[in-house]
Chain A
Amino acid sequence: MTAHGTTTKAPLRTPPRPGRRRGPRSTSGVTYVVLVVLAVVYVAPFLIQVATSFKTDADAATNAVSLVPHPFSTAALQRLFENSDFPLWFANSAVVTLVVTVGRVFFASLAGYALARLRFPGRGLVYAAVVGVMSVPAVVLLIPKFLVINQLGIYDSYAGMVLPLLVDAAGVFIMKNFFESIPASVEEQARIDGAGTFRIFWSIVLPMAQPALVTVTILSFQGSWNELSHFIVSTQSPDLTVLTKGVAGLASGQLSQGTQFPLKLAAAALMTIPVAVLFFVFQRRIMNSSDGAVKE
C-alpha cells in the first residue's frame, strides 16, 4: 500500500516514505469519481442546450433532460434565421468586435510600450490614471457613459458603440508588463542605427510581443463579443442591435410568444460558437495567461 497505485484507500494517510517523494502525488479513485461527477455537472448544461436547440417546443418542455431530440427538428433554427433579426445581430457583433479588438490591441500596445520604455513628462500620471481606471466598476459607468455619448451626438451610431470600447486599461497594463520583461538591448542597437521610435516599436518590439498580443486579443475579443451593458446605453435602433442585446430581448419575451425555449437556446448556443472556437484554438495560451495575470 504505497502511495503509488490507484488504491482507493485514502493515500493521504499513508505513512511518509523516507524517499524523495514530495508527498502522495498519485490520484485516488475517489478523486476521479468526484472529478467526473463535477465535470458532468459542468458540461451537462451545454449538452442539454445543444440538444434542445434541435427539439420541438413540446419535446423541450416534457423531456428537458434528454440529450436526444425526439423528433429531431430544425424548426427553431429556421425561425431564428427567417423570423428574427438574428443574422443582423450577428453581423453587428462581428463588425463591432473586429474593430474593437484591432483598436484595443493597437492602442494598448502603443501605450504599453510608451509606459514601459519611453521617458516623458507625465508618464507616472498616465500610468496612475490607467491603474485607477481599472478599479472603477463597469456598471457604475452605465449612466455616465450614456451622458457623454449623448452629449457628443454619437448616441445610436457605430461610433458610439465602438469608440468608448476602443481603450481598455487592463490591456495597457498587460502590454506594459510584457514590454518591461523583454531586454532593451535590441532596441538600443536599432536606435543607434538611426531607426525612429515608431519604426522600432512596429518592426522590432511588436513582433517580439506576440504572446502578450495574443492574450490581449483574446481578452478584447471575448470582452467585446460578450459585452451587453454598453450597447444597452449606447444604442436604441433595431438596425444597431448586437447579439447580446438581441438575445437578451428574445429571452425576456419581447419578440416571441410562449416559452420557445428551443429558439432561445439555439440563439444562445450560436452566439457562444465564436468565443468557444477562440477558446479551443488558444486553449493552452488561455490556461497559462492567467498565470501572468495573478502575479500582476
Chain B
Amino acid sequence: MSTTSTTTGPAGPVTTRPRRSAARSGEAVSGWLFTAPVVVLLGLFLGVPVLMALWVSVSDWTGRGSPFSAGVHFVGARNYSELLTGGGLATQDFGTALKNNAWYVVVVVPVQTALSLVLAVLVNQAALRGRGFFRTAFYFPSVTSSVAITVLWLFLFSASGAVNQVLGWVGINGPNWFNDPTGVLHALLKALGVQDGPAALTDHRLLGVTWWDWLGGPSVAMSAFIVMAVFTTSGTFMLLFVAALQNLSGEVTEAAVMDGANGWQRFWRITLPQLRPTLFTVLTLGLIGTWQVFDQIYTGTQGAPGKTTLTPAYLSYQTSFVNQEWGQGAAIAFILFVIIVVLTLFQRWLLRERSERRPRPVRRASERGTR
C-alpha cells in the first residue's frame, strides 16, 4: 500500500508539469497573438509617428519627399524659438492662438461643469416625471458630430439667424456673431467709457500679443463657439454626475436632514464633497478636451475674424498643411501637448493636496490610481 502511494506521489507532478508548462507557453503565445494587432497598430500609428514628428519639429523639412532624406537638415530648437521668442508673425500667431484658446478654456470648463452638475441634480430627482425625456434632450447634442453642430451653429448665429431674431424679441440688437472680432471684455470696458488700455498694458507684449489684448476676453465669434462647446458637452458630463449621484449613500443625507440642514446646505456640505472624484474627472476631461479645438474652427471660421478664433491645434494644422512649414507645425503640436500634460498634472496635484486633508486617504489614492 505504501509503495503505491509513494509512486503516485512523485508521479503526479512529473506527468502534470510538462502539460502545465505547455499550457503556460501556449498561453504566452496566445497572449502575444491576441495583443499583436493592437500593439502593432498602436506602435505604427502612434508610437512611430510621434518620434517622426519629434524629428520633423527639429528639422527644416518642407513637405517634399521623405523627412529622412539627405536634403533635410537638423536645425536644433529653431522652430521652437521662432514660435516662443522670435517676435515675428509666427510668434504673434502662436500667442494669439494661445490667448484665444486660454479664454475658451477659462470660460467653457467652469460653465460646462456647473451646468452639467445642475442638469444632473435636476434630472436625478426620484419623483421627476419624464426623466427619460429630459435626459435624452440634454444628452442628444453629444452624439452629433462636431461638423454637423458647427454647420447648425453657423446658421443659428448668423446675422439674421435664429439667435438674433430671438434676441430681437426682447429688444436686443444681436451682434454679427461669427464676423465680430471684438473681445467681450474690451466691449464691456468700451461700454463703460474705457476706449484704450493703459500704456503699461498696451506697450508690453507676451508672445507678440499686448497684455491689453491678452486681457480682452474671448471675441464675440469665439463666444459663439464657447456656447456651442457647453451645449454639446454638458450632456455627457451630466451622465457622469448622474451616475455618481446614484452611487451616493442616502445615510449621510438622511443624517443631515435629521440635523435640520436645508436643501442648499445639504448640496454644498454633503452632496458636493462626495462628488469630488467625479468633479475632478469632469474637470480633467474638460481641460484636455477644450485645449483641442480643431473641428469647429476647420468647419466654421478657419481662424477668422481677425484671427480671434485661431487655436493652437488649428494653427498647427494650418502651418504644416497649408503653409508647408512642417517643422514649425510639429513644434506647435508638441508645445500644445506639453501644455495639456502640465495642466493635467497641475490639476492632479491640486486634487492630491485636497484629498490628503480628507479621511481615508489610502482608499482615495487607490481610486485615483485605477482611473
Q: Do A and B come from one complex?
A: yes
Considering the chains assembled together, what is the distance between the CA atoms of A15 and B258 in angstroms?
A: 9
- Do A225 and B38 have beta carbons less than 8 Å apart? no
Choose the segment among A70-78, A80-88, A104-112, A207-215 that binds chain B (4+ C-beta atoms closer than 8 Å). A104-112
Which residues on the B side are within 8 Å of A138 (C-beta)?
292
Considering the chains assembled together, what is the distance between the CA atoms of A31 and B138 in angstroms?
A: 15
- Do A261 and B147 have beta carbons less than 8 Å apart? no
Which residues on the A side are within 8 Å of B35 (C-beta)?
110-111, 114-115, 123, 126
Considering the chains assembled together, what is the distance between the CA atoms of A236 and B300 in angstroms?
A: 20
Considering the chains assembled together, what is the distance between the CA atoms of A197 and B33 in angstroms?
A: 11
Binary B-proximity of A45-60 (CB < 8 A = 1, otherwise 0):
1101100100000001
Is A1 in contact with chain B by the CB < 8 A criterion?
no
Choice from A232, A264, A293 contacting B298 with Cβ under 8 Å = A232
Binary B-proximity of A1-43 (CB < 8 A = 1, otherwise 0):
0000000001011011000011111110001001100110011
- Do B45 and A12 have beta carbons less than 8 Å apart? no
User: Residue of B at shortest CB range from A145?
Assistant: B49
How far, in Å, is A89 (CB) from chain B's closest CB?
Answer: 11
State which residues 130-189 of B face A: CB under 8 Å.
Answer: 133-141, 143-152, 154-156, 158, 160-162, 164-166
Is B264 in contact with chain A by the CB < 8 A criterion?
yes
- Do A108 and B125 have beta carbons less than 8 Å apart? no
Is B41 in contact with chain A by the CB < 8 A criterion?
yes
Considering the chains assembled together, what is the distance between the CA atoms of A159 and B160 in angstroms?
A: 44
- Do B299 and A22 have beta carbons less than 8 Å apart? no
User: Residue of A at shortest CB range from B37?
Assistant: A107
Choice from B39, B298, B321, B329 contacting A126 with Cβ under 8 Å = B39
Which residues on the A side are within 8 Å of B201 (C-beta)?
none
- Do A27 and B136 have beta carbons less than 8 Å apart? no
Binary B-proximity of A222-258 (CB < 8 A = 1, otherwise 0):
1001101100110000000001100110111000000
- Do B38 and A42 have beta carbons less than 8 Å apart? no
Considering the chains assembled together, what is the distance between the CA atoms of A129 and B44 in angstroms?
A: 13
Is B191 in contact with chain A by the CB < 8 A criterion?
no
Choice from B119, B158, B330, B337 contacting A137 with Cβ under 8 Å = B337
Question: Are A45 and B152 also in contact (CB < 8 A) when A233-B321, A290-B236 are?
Answer: yes
Considering the chains assembled together, what is the distance between the CA atoms of A268 and B151 in angstroms?
A: 7
Is A91 in contact with chain B by the CB < 8 A criterion?
no
Considering the chains assembled together, what is the distance between the CA atoms of A243 and B295 in angstroms?
A: 13
- Do A42 and B28 have beta carbons less than 8 Å apart? no
Binary A-proximity of B270-304 (CB < 8 A = 1, otherwise 0):
00000000100100000010011011001110100
Which residues on the A side are within 8 Å of B302 (C-beta)?
252
- Do A143 and B30 have beta carbons less than 8 Å apart? no
How far, in Å, is B349 (CB) from chain A's closest CB?
Answer: 16
Choice from B119, B155, B244 contacting A265 with Cβ under 8 Å = B155
Interface centre among A13, A16, A271 (most CB of B within 10 A): A16
- Do B123 and A35 have beta carbons less than 8 Å apart? yes
User: Residue of A at shortest CB range from B256?
Assistant: A23
How far, in Å, is B2 (CB) from chain A's closest CB?
Answer: 31
Question: Are A38 and B138 also in contact (CB < 8 A) when A163-B41, A275-B143 are?
Answer: yes
Which residues on the A side are within 8 Å of B281 (C-beta)?
294
Is A183 in contact with chain B by the CB < 8 A criterion?
no
How far, in Å, is A25 (CB) from chain B's closest CB?
Answer: 5
- Do B298 and A228 have beta carbons less than 8 Å apart? yes
Considering the chains assembled together, what is the distance between the CA atoms of A203 and B294 in angstroms?
A: 42
How far, in Å, is B319 (CB) from chain A's closest CB?
Answer: 9
User: Residue of B at shortest CB range from A127?
Assistant: B35
User: Residue of A at shortest CB range from B260?
Assistant: A16
Is B370 in contact with chain A by the CB < 8 A criterion?
yes
Which residues on the B side are within 8 Å of A133 (C-beta)?
42, 46
Is B62 in contact with chain A by the CB < 8 A criterion?
no
Question: Are A143 and B151 also in contact (CB < 8 A) when A151-B52, A167-B42, A244-B145 are?
Answer: no
Binary A-proximity of B210-244 (CB < 8 A = 1, otherwise 0):
00000000000000000000010001100110011
Which residues on the A side are within 8 Å of B27 (C-beta)?
118-120, 197
Considering the chains assembled together, what is the distance between the CA atoms of A191 and B26 in angstroms?
A: 12
Considering the chains assembled together, what is the distance between the CA atoms of A225 and B129 in angstroms?
A: 34
Which residues on the A side are within 8 Å of B138 (C-beta)?
38-39, 42
Which residues on the A side are within 8 Å of B139 (C-beta)?
286-287
Binary B-proximity of A145-176 (CB < 8 A = 1, otherwise 0):
11110011000000000011011010010000
Given contacts A42-B141, A139-B294, A228-B295, 16 further A-B contacts (CB under 8 A): A16-B258, A35-B122, A38-B138, A61-B160, A64-B156, A111-B34, A118-B28, A135-B344, A139-B336, A140-B334, A143-B53, A145-B45, A229-B294, A265-B151, A268-B147, A268-B149
Sample (24) of A-B pairs whose CB atoms are under 8 Å apart = A13-B262, A38-B122, A42-B141, A45-B162, A46-B140, A64-B160, A64-B161, A64-B165, A114-B35, A115-B35, A122-B32, A130-B42, A138-B292, A140-B334, A140-B336, A142-B317, A144-B46, A144-B52, A197-B26, A229-B317, A244-B147, A248-B147, A268-B151, A290-B240
Q: Which 4 interchain pairs have the tightest Cβ spacing?
A: A120-B31, A12-B263, A144-B49, A226-B145
Contact surface of A with B, Cβ cutoff 8 Å: 10, 12-13, 15-16, 21-27, 31, 34-35, 38-39, 42-46, 48-49, 52, 60-62, 64-65, 107-108, 110-111, 113-115, 118-123, 126, 129-130, 133, 135-148, 151-152, 163-164, 166-167, 169, 172, 191, 197-198, 201, 222, 225-226, 228-229, 232-233, 243-244, 247-248, 250-252, 259, 261, 264-265, 267-269, 271-272, 275-276, 278-279, 283, 286-287, 290-291, 293-294, 296
